[in-house]
Structure 1
């Protein structure tokens, strides 16, 4: 069976680790240096639940509460991973703004979204509790995970959750009954 092609956009405030998450998943390495992303797409093949996927991960330029999100972030995108950093209140606010923009463009029922609190390894710099992230995800009825781009297993969970969420939506699940939250 040929791989299913899927495109995921990673969105959130600048320097929350969108690029680091994608590079950790695709290349299995942690990139520490921060170089503001213009926009980049990484393609990799992955197998989830026995199905092969050709996954295009769109690493977007960081958004803020005033950014106009380019139209191409809404066309041919199968799912979204909204990323904030657990050590940045600003990034948590921005992710809410980005979510609202996506819902305005796409509609709540049709959009597979996963909320990710990144940099969970920065225990002493944390300003957003795991509970706050979980509550936000529950209010949106989307899966929530915390991750660290330094830890491949937590990053792999992010991608698998995104693929599973897209599959549920494609199979007609409005996510109302499966508002499960993964931790």
Structure 2
């Protein structure tokens, strides 16, 4: 097996969309119900995907809003981004667009390795952002899209596998056609 690849992934989005819950569900396999605003935490987990071992550092960022200044450290050594909104919040969906634009400006890149994630599918009765709207936004960014529930551990591992594949693709290690599709 090839040596492990180190990958740093940042989860970004509006406050209380579930970035920490998704991260802790992925790393520790548990759901944290209480809301405690994050300043910034970094978690580590080894992941095997398509025969490759990855040493993942997951940066769980503080919630951003449309006025937040994105620290330079979120651009310098990050390999890929998981941009999270809550399907129950139009505001979080709007903020994720602003974050994406700021990241493009700061990196100077046209395409970034990004997975767009609509979280909180367990609250489907409170849905405000349609699956179609999420898909359309991701398509406009040429990004992967999926919906998750940190609470029910639905598609949580998938979103990390998707971002690893997007990073590989951006580095020219994967043919364009083999995108990540989670249905």
Deviant stretches of 4+, over 3 Å: 107-110, 172-175, 177-183
Q: CA deviation at 1:140?
A: 0.9
Unaligned stretches of 5+ residues in structure 1: none
Query: Are 1:97 and 2:98 an aligned pair?
Result: yes
SS in 1 for 2:66: coil
Check the 8 A contact 2:27/2:43 in 1, yes or no.
yes
Number of equivalences: 182
Q: CA deviation at 1:150?
A: 1.8
Cα distance in 2 for partners of 1:143, 1:13 equals 19
- Equivalent in the alignment of 1:4: 5
- Equivalent in the alignment of 1:126: 127
Deviations 1:129-162 (A, max 9, x none): 1011001101111000000002335101010001
Q: CA deviation at 1:69?
A: 0.6
Query: Are 1:43 and 2:44 an aligned pair?
Result: yes
Check the 8 A contact 1:23/1:31 in 2, yes or no.
yes
Q: TM-score, normalized by length of structure 1?
A: 0.93
- Equivalent in the alignment of 2:66: 65
Q: TM-score, normalized by length of structure 2?
A: 0.93
Deviations 1:3-61 (A, max 9, x none): 11000000000000000001000000111111000000000111001100000000000
- Equivalent in the alignment of 1:164: 165
Unaligned stretches of 5+ residues in structure 2: none
Check the 8 A contact 2:166/2:179 in 1, yes or no.
no
Cα distance in 1 for partners of 2:57, 2:42 equals 6
SS in 2 for 1:67: coil
